[in-house]
Amino acid sequence: MGTESLNECSHVEQGLGPVVLIAIGKTGQGKSSLLNKIMGTNELKASASVRAVTKGIAERSGWARFEDNRRFLVTLADTPGLADTEGDDEKNIPILKEYILSVGTRLGVTAFLLIFKIDSSVDIIMTILKTFNELTQDLPNVWDNVVLVFTGCDYRRDILDTKQLLHRELRKQIYEHFLKDRPSTSSASSSTTTTTTSTSTSSRARANTADPLSCQKNKNPASSSPMARSASMSETPGAGIPMVFLTTVDNICLIALGGARCDCEDHAQYLKTGLKRLWYEARKMKRWVLHAEENEDEFKGHVEVQ
């Protein structure tokens, strides 16, 4: 099957199955903590409550709350450290790739969460991204489902300068290394744009109001791939790869630190807002699916999330 065929069939419509999130990154970047926050428990740390789908991968399905009074079925996967200083990539990369092939066939993947500490340098982040790109390079359209998640963005911490640096420098490098030479999808994007233009005003309004936290509305919500999103945001190369900044730590009340007032409620809202943003970015994507028929070397892929 040619590359063009792979691009055309690598995503499918999202059905009633779970939202599938795979956390990937170095050890100590907050993968487990984030997944526990999503699930609302410490279950991913309790070996009796998770399914060990393969050595080094913990998979858990259950109900998560991303929005007030609404629960969603999710499947979360915690993976071994990638590009760690211990030099375990030789062992961990085959494990991770085997799992991606497995879950891509069994359930599909809503989003690959590439997780980093907010104080990670651009060079370190790029090292992880290059490793991820190498292990998925023979799979179609994986970058369409990548979300960059930055942890350690604690409630009282000023991260504005760091966010601006990441948006400016990291996006450029992502585009140059991973998106620039991808097979052209211009014809598909053109068709999508034409369809979107003829969509009713009410449909566009529904798409824009789907994200209660958005500062800039997506003017072409149907174009969900990074290349299509980058084209609509041409002032920033690689702008189609979403970045989410959040915290996973519990609050220490300001009064306990000698402050004049309690800020626990403000912190809880800040935490909830970060998770909502992650939920929104993941749910905008099409589900990445992979079907490998016996004795065939063919990949099929994407479905749109409802």
What is the reported pLDDT for 216? 39
Judge whether 252 and 259 are in contact, CB under 8 Å: no
Phi, psi of 183 (to 5 degrees): -55, 140
Does residue 82 lie in a domain region? yes
Q: How many CA atoms lie within 13 A of 18 on its CB side?
A: 19
Does residue 211 lie in a domain region? no
Does residue 106 lie in a domain region? yes
Tokens read off for 152: 């350690």
User: Which domain does 271 fall in, by range?
Assistant: 3-184+222-304
Judge whether 11 and 289 are in contact, CB under 8 Å: yes
Does residue 83 lie in a domain region? yes
Does residue 135 lie in a domain region? yes
User: What is the full per-residue pLDDT of the chain (306 aa) written as tens digits?
Assistant: 444 444 444 665 555 568 999 999 888 888 888 988 888 766 554 433 445 455 678 888 888 877 666 778 899 999 988 876 666 777 888 889 999 999 999 899 999 999 999 999 999 999 999 999 999 999 989 999 999 999 999 888 888 999 999 999 999 999 999 988 876 544 334 333 333 333 334 433 333 444 444 333 344 444 455 555 444 444 555 568 999 999 988 888 888 888 888 988 888 888 889 999 999 999 888 899 986 444 444 444 555 444
What is the reported pLDDT for 220? 44
Q: How many other C-beta atoms lie within 10 A of the C-beta of residue 237? A: 16
Does residue 191 lie in a domain region? no
Does residue 53 lie in a domain region? yes
Does residue 98 lie in a domain region? yes
The count of domains in the chain is: 1
CATH number at residue 107: 3.40.50.300
What is the reported pLDDT for 54? 52
- Residue 30 CA to residue 275 CA, distance in Å, equals 14
